[in-house]
């Protein structure tokens, strides 16, 4: 129940007594269990959001390649997970994370757009709804399920003009020739910006807050580039050593950034619309 306090939620979902709690934000609380273990308790107010996040964490964790917080319990409104001990990015572990991310992607998915097992079709990326509708052709799926829905909303909301949207529509029309070599569906984190990559007290990397689904592995890497990431060169070195990317992948970064940039456009406004248009133009002129 949403009216519960985080401590009582942790006790109910873990079956262990609680000895303290510390509120971090309106939706996130650190709760100390009897014996000293600290867990994270997160409240979700959007339908299906907790279920999607819990299923995503389990799916990513099942691959056994990258550190992901364990899920200790969840229901319709609450999620209790392992806490990641706070630390700093470290050069000596960055390449190892890159290798693990490559292995995670290689664990695969049943289709592009496939939700994690037990996850809902109607999920979220950040605060924006994200529909997980499976498809077997990445260019068509990416256009219809990841680019055009947010482009249409941006136009409907008046954040982007229809004449501007035509540039993005041209990218979608040309996706079969712009997408590069065909790849199998990868097991994506789905919202892999720097804020969802935590480093623990030992300098090890952890993934949190996924919008997990089956997709193109270059999308996760493009999101790491979007807002900057510590030691990205070493992460990519470890990735390439484990599962080399197709030729021209770096030229396709703007194409894969179209999705998160359009999501940010509908959430945060005109500045991201300009960045979306720049990414579309860069894709068309490469």
Average pLDDT along the chain, 286 residues, taken 10 residues at a time: 84 96 95 96 92 98 98 96 93 96 98 97 95 97 98 97 97 98 98 96 95 98 95 97 98 98 97 98 94
**What is the pLDDT at residue 2?**
56
Distance, CA of 225 to CA of 70 (rounded, Å): 27
Domains delineated in the chain: 6-82 (3.30.200.20), 91-285 (3.90.1200.10)
**What is the pLDDT at residue 47?**
85
**What's the mean per-residue pLDDT of the chain?**
96
**What is the pLDDT at residue 254?**
98
Answer yes or no: are the C-beta atoms of 149 and 131 closer than 8 Å. Answer: yes
**pLDDT tens-place string over residues 106-149:** 999 999 999 999 999 999 999 999 999 999 999 999 999 999 99
> Environment class of residue 26 by beta-carbon count within 10 Å: exposed (0-12), middle (13-18) or buried (19+)?
exposed
Q: Which residues contact 282 (CB under 8 A, 6 or more apart)?
A: 254
- Region of 62 (left: φ > 0; alpha: ψ -120 to 50; beta: rest) is alpha
**pLDDT tens-place string over residues 47-81:** 899 999 999 999 999 999 999 999 999 999 999 99
Distance, CA of 84 to CA of 105 (rounded, Å): 22
Distance, CA of 132 to CA of 146 (rounded, Å): 9
**What is the pLDDT at residue 49?**
94
Answer yes or no: are the C-beta atoms of 80 and 6 closer than 8 Å. Answer: no
């Amino acid at each position: 129940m949403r009216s519960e306090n985080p401590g009582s939620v942790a006790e109910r979902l873990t079956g262990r007594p609680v000895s303290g709690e510390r509120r971090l934000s309106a939706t996130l609380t650190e709760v100390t269990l009897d014996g000293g273990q600290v867990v994270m308790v997160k409240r979700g107010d959007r339908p299906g959001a907790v279920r999607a996040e819990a299923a995503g964490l389990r799916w990513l964790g099942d691959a056994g390649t990258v550190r992901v917080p364990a899920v200790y319990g969840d229901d319709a409104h609450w999620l209790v997970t392992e806490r990641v001990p706070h630390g700093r990015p470290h050069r000596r572990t960055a390449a190892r994370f890159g290798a693990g991310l490559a292995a995670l992607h290689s664990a695969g998915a049943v289709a592009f757009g496939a939700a994690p097992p037990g996850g809902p079709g109607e999920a979220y990326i950040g605060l924006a709804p994200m529909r997980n509708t499976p498809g077997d052709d990445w260019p068509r799926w990416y256009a219809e399920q990841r680019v055009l829905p947010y482009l249409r909303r941006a136009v409907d909301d008046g954040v982007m003009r229809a004449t501007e949207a035509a540039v993005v529509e041209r990218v979608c029309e040309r996706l079969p020739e712009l997408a590069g070599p065909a790849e199998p569906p990868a097991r994506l984190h789905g919202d892999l910006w720097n804020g969802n990559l935590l480093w623990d007290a030992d300098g090890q990397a952890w993934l949190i807050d996924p919008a997990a689904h089956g997709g193109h592995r270059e999308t996760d890497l493009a999101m790491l580039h979007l807002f900057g990431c510590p030691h990205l060169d070493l992460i990519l070195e470890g990735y390439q050593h484990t599962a080399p990317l197709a030729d021209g992948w770096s030229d396709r970064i703007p194409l894969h950034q179209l999705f998160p940039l359009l999501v940010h456009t509908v959430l945060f406004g005109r500045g991201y619309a300009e960045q979306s248009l720049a990414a579309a133009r860069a894709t068309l002129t490469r």
